[in-house]
Structure 1
């Protein structure tokens, strides 16, 4: 028996969104590497949620949230307070469990990607006193 048409359409949209999100994360990883970052992990799951990209550059450890939307403006407002708390808790968990990732500075960045592949990085998008 097949799924009702509305459910099937929702499942199809979800698959497209998932695929475009993976593509955006690959674009961002390549851009970070061009900027001199080493990618430590992608799509790293924790009990508190998933972090899209974890990268390091000398003494900086950067937790990156990637958002893919039709326009950069749409993506820039896509990090909700709930997602920010999840990101912070997941990063805190990883800092306690991945001792080799210790760096003197930690930063949370949001990198937004539009449907044409253009990117915008918002550095230091999240601070401990904001969650």
Structure 2
């Protein structure tokens, strides 16, 4: 039990998952930068959802979701249609806040992270026209 005004102790499993996510996002950012992308935002939060990475390469704006699991296949399977819709909605919010990027081509990518594996970058991993 905590005293008034005192923060409760963080759940160790939740804390471990949080740190795993941060580490995966760092790896994904380094990977994209090595591929020539310019990182514009990281962990962009909106009331509708969060975008892990916003990056640009030439005339293409990329909204990237980072997924870390025990295997790359597990990571790929964990991107749900509901998440895709939330990312698309959050991307609309980002574009409204950054109108200078509104004329760029937009793409939704997924970067898969697994232990002891090279990241896998799925370009145009999902299409938002069905939402």
> TM-score over 0.5 for the alignment?
yes
SS at match of 1:129: coil
How many residue pairs align between the two structures? 125
CA RMSD for the aligned pairs?
1.7
Residue of structure 1 in register with 2:101 after alignment? 101
Cα displacement (A) at 1:94: 1.0
Unaligned runs of 5+ in 2: 3-8
> Which deviates more from structure 2 when the two are superposed, residues 102-111 or residues 65-74?
102-111
Q: Is residue 58 of structure 1 aligned with residue 62 of structure 2?
A: no
- TM-score, normalized by length of structure 1? 0.88
Which residue does the alignment assign to 1:113? 113
1: distance between equivalents of 2:103 and 2:30?
Answer: 22
Matched residue, 2:89: 89
Runs of 5+ in structure 1 lacking a partner? 3-7
Q: Cα distance, 1:103 vs. partner?
A: 4.0
Instruction: Say which structure is richer in helix.
Output: 1
Report the 3-state secondary structure (helix = DSSP H, G, I; strand = E; otherwise coil) of the residue aligned with 1:13. helix
After TM superposition, list the pairs within 5 Å mapping 1:22-101 onto structure 2: 22-101=22-101
Separation in 2 of the partners of 1:84 and 1:124?
A: 12
